[in-house]
Chain A
Amino acid sequence: MSSLEPFLRGGGTDFERQLLSAVRGERPSARQRRRMLRGLGLSSGIALWAATAHAVVTGATGKLVLGLGAAAIVTFGALPLVRERAAARDAAAHSAAASSAAVSAPVASAAPPADIVVEPATVGDESATASAEAANGASELRAQIELLDTVKAAVNRKEGAEALALLARFDERFPSGVLRSEARTLRRAASRLPFDARR
């Protein structure tokens, strides 16, 4: 098996390589990618092209945070987790993508995913100021993540009042937080819970 080479690297006829080359670069179109991201609740601003985003600096609590690179800011959208039946409803509301009925599907273009935008950073180049701002941004992001994790834990325990109180704290501390859409999603989940007696 180790002696076998893919046809595109040798061994295939010109015609075979022509066929294979045509499909090799096929990718989801920009529209299809947006649809997948929406269905997953991921922002189209996700830094899919990680050349500029330095990922994963472990914080003091051991949780993962995203370090900000010199040239990119990663924006987060809400990630509503839906199950398959709910996915059909929600995805339909967003993009009608959940239906598996016959869809007239054009052949996807091989255009690069230009719609996935890595928003230009305000951090600038690698000056001391830029580094400090990046560190502050990562620190605030970590704080948002930690607070929302406690909200989620309260929701898991079915303590609606506790969860909503934590969310109020989130709104106060991070009025422009990048995870506010996730906070909204958690608020909806907490609001559906029976309130406990604690306040």
Chain B
Amino acid sequence: MAGNSAVVLLNSEEGRALVKRHCREANLSMSHLFELIEAELEQLGKKRKAGLWEEFDRIFDSLEEDD
């Protein structure tokens, strides 16, 4: 899963279990959460987060398709 190492929480079993539990309770997809994290990581160091919302559009539209 891309971006794991940047988010140390996701490197440990306990951290991943926590994420899994919260996603399950909210009926959300973990993989899409990681995609969102990756999109945010792409923006690190930018003064303005250009392109981020287009990426969010793509990810959320794919939620519809997966449903």
A, B bound: no
Chain B residues with CB under 8 Å of chain A are none
